[in-house]
Structure 1
């Protein structure tokens, strides 16, 4: 989980932000006007930090970089593949010092509010970087906004859905995936009774995977507009109570030391019938005995709905953002525009199997990929995480208390009250329930 920002770092960031604001809007090769009026005249060298998988995904991005340089021969792109697990701290360090920051960065969608609040990335409204916004899927586009401005351009997206074993469902006489959490519990009981050796589901104790239950009860971590901590609201208590019920009645018991790996192994070997998971897991799923050589056995559906009737899951993925202190904003805007175009997204989807963020990129060729085709309608249920700079840090205390709740070490209300108290130290000025 992401760590919070220290007071010293925050103060340094504010100073840097003021300097970046003063130096980033000029004309010529540094400013943005040239890229809009005469793109072919733009010159300069920019650095791009790509956080895609170096072995399996990066080659497709490198090919796009070469295509960009061919289209804009006066611009040189220094491509760097930066490990996803270290890029956040590396970018913060370089942005705070003003040395070594990339001109364009591929950022996790959950980091956009934090980077924007620290003045590390530039607002893109009215720049050539942000084109044809009506073509973007709503969920990914909403991840780019902070306090009324747009700070990123959606590149690839994902969300959580319900993956299920069609063969197990058939053997249990279940004709459709569960539409509600109560139906999921009922289906799990049916599977246990009719398909020996198979358990209904596996509850992932990672707090990110709790969000569909919270959203389904109209609950969230906090309410920025009202400046309230809401993780211990009655709606949130109801959501986590349901999660505990699912764990107790429908889930394979979790090995909390290696929960994710055991969850995956249980599902892909056919010992678990359904999971809340994302498209990133499908490649691994297909390596197991339940799906290897029989990909059509994997079913896709939206997450079940809560009592609100809403099936909602968090929007994930990556946005491209432009460093506010870049000396080559014009080239950075053009590069961002090119890399997030419909044509570029189609190419990436075909090569890497990731979900595009533009509606027009879901072409028949792209939809030949069963994972993309399966998750495309599920994306309609996606919504962004709460737009707070501290949102990544909130998951740590929530997960600590969520695990205690699942293990029966504390009650739902007491656990969420404890999480809310810790939220209070991360969200100064926010009132608790």
Structure 2
């Protein structure tokens, strides 16, 4: 494992950082004059499918670093953000957090994350995809090391597409045509869309816009470009070979199940479902899974939101624990560790040298690696991830014909204004 900067210089810099952040008031630091330093890691991954791999890597790290013990805690993802916010505010947070990329600006702004520039954790910075480092950056400082990444893609059933004689579409209009042809030739619906705001984000990128312009501090969700994107999104719920919007609480699982069992030929989905794709009858042969860049809008460009997780270090820990945490983050994000994680969990590495021949033998991982170029980093806006909340509610109403597009987007704009009150409409 690479050591990065000298331990003495690191300890001095961390002591300064800890002083600036007020140190740690979380009680026992885990340090002992004759024992190992103990750090705590909150892992927010799936406890059944992913966590065992991380627990094995923790053991491997401890075996190679006898002076460090890692207390592993699996925290449910949907609870982790609030739990960490509360714990960090009380200066009792874990030393390392598996943080969703969208959490970085808010926690960095509050001073909860340690800047990692020049530390051992980020010693291999040049190995990581630049867009992922950008996503971990707030006000010109890097606050997380990219751990896993994801984006959305058009996933499709190669056999159904071949039986219908159609190629993966590159525009939304081509998708409509392909869906109709697939329905006519095979009897299977060609596409089923989601009402979720996150999944609708690609329609905005395809028109060269977003929900807000963070640089200009302007809400753009009702702009002509955004309306055009959402009009295209809504149009894909009505037509030959296009399934109507599912507005129930079970929509996600219904769409997923229909795809993996060959009842619909294509959907928009992320790589977190790779292992579940293969459990479906349609993909008993993994090579039947097709993965293509999301279709482009009228701008001619295709784009999908970048997701994933970083490993971030708590700024409130004492210097010895921060030093140990930085070593741990460096180990967990190394090429070797990322290769192991990819092979066992079917998640996407964040560094190119982890895409070994063995990793790319998985058609799902190889396919998603091929679409990462279209992934767009989120703006470094602390409130950005929360903007999808109002849109989830309004898009559901629009897709279910409870509100017109104008009504729904106007309501979303009003709700977003409350989240970013210094933005203009």
Alignment of 1:174-323 (within 5 A): 174=166, 176-196=167-187, 198-249=188-239, 250-257=241-248, 258-291=250-283, 293-323=284-314
- Structure 1 residue ranges without an equivalent (≥5): 1-17, 31-41
137-146 or 115-124, which deviates more: 137-146
Partner of 2:71: 78
Deviation for aligned residue 1:407 = 2.1
Alignment of 1:28-427 (within 5 A): 44-99=37-92, 101-174=93-166, 176-196=167-187, 198-249=188-239, 250-257=241-248, 258-291=250-283, 293-327=284-318, 328-427=321-420
Q: Secondary structure at the match of 1:290?
A: helix
Deviation for aligned residue 1:116 = 1.1
- Report the Cα distance in structure 2 between the residues aligned to 1:189 and 1:295, rounded to whole angstroms: 25
Deviation for aligned residue 1:132 = 2.1
- Report the Cα distance in structure 1 between the residues aligned to 2:274 and 2:116, rounded to whole angstroms: 34
Q: Secondary structure at the match of 1:355?
A: coil
- Report the Cα distance in structure 1 between the residues aligned to 2:148 and 2:424, rounded to whole angstroms: 35
8 A Cα contact 1:139 1:379, kept in partner: no
- Report the Cα distance in structure 2 between the residues aligned to 1:333 and 1:282, rounded to whole angstroms: 30
8 A Cα contact 2:274 2:346, kept in partner: no
Deviation for aligned residue 1:141 = 2.0
Structure 1 residues 339 and 24, CA gap change in structure 2 (3 angstroms): farther
Q: Secondary structure at the match of 2:410?
A: helix
357-366 or 187-196, which deviates more: 187-196
Q: Secondary structure at the match of 1:321?
A: strand
- Report the Cα distance in structure 2 between the residues aligned to 1:170 and 1:20, rounded to whole angstroms: 63
Deviation for aligned residue 1:24 = 5.2
Which deviations, in whole Å up to 9, do the C-alpha atoms of 1:373-410 show, x marking residues without a partner? 11111111111223221122211111111122222233
Deviation for aligned residue 1:20 = 6.6
- Report the Cα distance in structure 2 between the residues aligned to 1:126 and 1:142, rounded to whole angstroms: 16
Partner of 1:14: none
- Report the Cα distance in structure 2 between the residues aligned to 1:379 and 1:131, rounded to whole angstroms: 23
Partner of 1:11: none
Deviation for aligned residue 1:21 = 2.9
Task: Flag as ranges the 4+ runs of structure 1 deviating above 4 A.
Answer: none
Deviation for aligned residue 1:43 = 6.0
Deviation for aligned residue 1:359 = 0.6
108-117 or 242-251, which deviates more: 242-251
Q: Secondary structure at the match of 2:282?
A: coil
Structure 1 residues 79 and 314, CA gap change in structure 2 (3 angstroms): same
- Report the Cα distance in structure 2 between the residues aligned to 1:20 and 1:154, rounded to whole angstroms: 26
- Structure 2 residue ranges without an equivalent (≥5): 1-16, 30-34
Aligned residues: 397
- Report the Cα distance in structure 2 between the residues aligned to 1:400 and 1:82, rounded to whole angstroms: 27
8 A Cα contact 1:20 1:324, kept in partner: no
Structure 1 residues 195 and 128, CA gap change in structure 2 (3 angstroms): same
- Report the Cα distance in structure 2 between the residues aligned to 1:108 and 1:416, rounded to whole angstroms: 27
Deviation for aligned residue 1:256 = 1.2
Which deviations, in whole Å up to 9, do the C-alpha atoms of 1:254-276 show, x marking residues without a partner? 33112111111211222211000
- TM-score, with length taken from structure 1: 0.87
Partner of 2:13: none
Q: Secondary structure at the match of 2:342?
A: helix
